[in-house]
Structure 1
Amino acid sequence: MLRTLEPGQRCEVWIASVTGESEMVFSTDEVLLEAPNWTLDGRSLVLNGDGKLWTLDVSGGRLTEVPLTGVPDLNNDHVLAPGGTGIFLSANDGHIYRAPLDGGEGQRITDDDGSFHFLHGVSPDGGELAYVGIQAGDFTRPGRLMTIPSDGGTTAAVDVGPGHCDGPEYSPDGQWLYFNTESFSSLPGHAQLARVQVDGSGFERLLESVTVDWFPHLSPDGELACYIRFLTGTEGHPADLPVDVVLVSTGDWTAPLHTWPLFGGQGTLNVNSWSPDSARFAYVAYPLGNTDTPKDQVRD
């Protein structure tokens, strides 16, 4: 089901700097955009909205549809191929596709294996994808961390415990998968940040917190990471809530460097949105009416 804006709601695309500043580069009340990626030339963001793929010129604020064929309506899980000319896409039929970033025919990668496939990561060499598998599309079941060759083929499961996991993304050196998981807690929905080596060893928690933490994204140089933080007790990563976007050093996940409170959640930071120079990243807010998210609603 495609997401749309509520009456009086806006979609705002923001760019945050690692020095703490942020700038709104696009605002609309017509289309609900989600999950920005940053192109390798540093000029554009790639987002989904209304089931389609869009590019947003960072300097000019021009939104342009990417003309795709052979791909069903998209959801908010997409990542650029390392070469910068292709993109991997999750669609609402539960499959993963690859398509040219400038538009054209998409090719399905995943088989009809009885599960839904939600893409989140591509290895630095472009040879492998990491995704979350949901058996039979039954969202009462936990998501499982899975990998597949980027041109299709045999899938493999990575054991990260019994809890639901989401957002698996490769580290810049290709040695680790970073993600969030509920395997560390018995509290419903209490997602925490974690990583595991690509061979399945070294599974570890990155941060112990009372908040519900999702979607860790490493900068291209591996020095920094951003993630989205929900209030304690949140289950899943729902839309339209007060949340924080948090910036940390990968050397110390416990000490936020900067925090950006906003109204959002689903769609805000689902995929890696770092600029190629590791100096900025993008996120999306969805304010209602003329009010901003009160800062005291989002707690450490």
Structure 2
Amino acid sequence: MDSRRLRPGQTSRVHIGYRDGRDPEVVFETDSILIEAPNWTLDGADLIVNGDGLLWSLPADGSGGLAPIALEGVPALNNDHVLAPDGEHIFVSANDWHIYRASLAGGPTRRITNPGDRMHFLHGVSPDGHTLAYIGLEPGGADVWASGNVFSIPADGGADRQLTHDSRPADGCEYSPDGAWIYFNTEAFEAAAGHAQIARMRPDGTGVEQLTVDDRVNWFPHLSPDGASAVYLSFPAGTEGHPADLWVDLMLVDGTDWTHPRTVQRLFGGQGTLNVNSWAPDSERFAYISYPVADEHGTPTP
């Protein structure tokens, strides 16, 4: 998998949204690198993003530029990375389809996932830091991307456990702050391809509940640290997968009412915008990325 690149005239624009409904603000913009998937560090100071196969830190207030985090012994990274609860480490997915543990200060990494053909895409770390939740894909089939199911694995390495066994793909599996649920998106509620909806289940794979029921295609649910809100990305009806460079809606859920979300912003993005949890530790702010493209007059899309 090659690292994504910006199109001619395109920029990566980092936004901060607010739970209280204030207008989002732009804190950083670059036309030199396609950055993706912000995580917010536990001290509230920085965002962690990926770009060009590397990991980068960015001051959350926009006061500085990108600074590379030099990781050793890991292939090029994709946009599935999640901070450990200790605030000092991060788990990253690499383009050899494995998951690694690294220090936010850089340095050596350690592979967590087991040898084999399965492709691993990290999305969740349990609140106690003991378990990872990932999407596993089985290569060799007619459509490898349709084989995604939710798995867990001890954060120090060990035996994998398959939690979903669906013929329609799942993605975005993430623990609730209390560890009682795994939230994810899945196409399992309909036979036709596409039409992903948000669901949750117990960490052992039982008690699956559908949370969103609409005509949109809903991906990547992320709960705030206090558990009182959630954000997710909503694609147009009929979208298959989570492609880049589409007009999408960023949605905010108050409390447990997933049937009446608020639209935070309509933006040009999709893949890379909100793949991983990007809430600030204060549960009042969240980060996300849009990818506007300038028109023939040099004016970017909103």
Pairwise same-fold verdict (TM > 0.5)? yes
Instruction: Tell me the equivalent position of 2:122.
Output: 119
Normalised TM-score (structure 2): 0.95
1:99 matched to which residue of 2? 102
Secondary structure of the corresponding residue to residue 277 of structure 1: coil
Give 1:48's aligned residue. 50
The whole-number CA distance in structure 1 between the counterparts of 2:130 and 2:194 is: 32
Retained in 2: the 8 A contact 1:167–1:214? yes
**Corresponding residue to 2:169 among 157, 164, 168:** 164
Match for 1:261 among 262, 266, 279? Answer: 266
1:292 to 281, 285, 301: 301
* Per-residue Cα deviation, 1:31-73 (whole angstroms, up to 9, x for no partner): 0000000000001000000000000012213210001110100
Alpha-carbon distance in structure 2 between the residues aligned to 1:140 and 1:46: 26
Could you tell me how far 1:258 is from its partner in structure 2?
A: 3.7
Q: Name the residue aligned to 1:297.
A: none
- 1:247 equivalent among 241, 244, 252: 252
11-20 vs 122-131, greater mean Cα deviation: 11-20
Residue 137 of structure 1 and its aligned partner are, at CA, apart by: 6.9
Q: What is the alpha-carbon distance in structure 1 between the residues aligned to residue 125 and residue 266 of structure 2? A: 29
Matched pairs, number = 293
CA contact (8 A) 1:195 1:203 kept: yes
| Contact 2:145/2:169 (8 A) holds in 1 | no
Counterpart of 2:137 in structure 1 is 134
1:63 partnered with 2:72: no
The SS at the match of 1:251 is coil
Percent pairwise identity? 56
TM-score if structure 1 supplies the norm length? 0.95
Q: Which residue of 2 aligns with 1:17?
A: 18
Asked if structure 2 preserves the Cα contact closer than 8 Å seen for 1:273 and 1:281, the reply is: yes
Q: For the aligned residues, what is the CA RMSD?
A: 1.1
Residue identity matched to 1:22: P
CA contact (8 A) 1:216 1:226 kept: yes
In the other structure, the counterpart of 2:40 is 38
Per-residue deviation at 1:11? Answer: 0.6
Unpaired stretches in structure 2, ≥5 consecutive residues? none
Quick check: 1:96–1:118 contact (8 Å CA) kept in 2? Answer: yes
Which 4+ runs in 1 deviate beyond 6 A? none
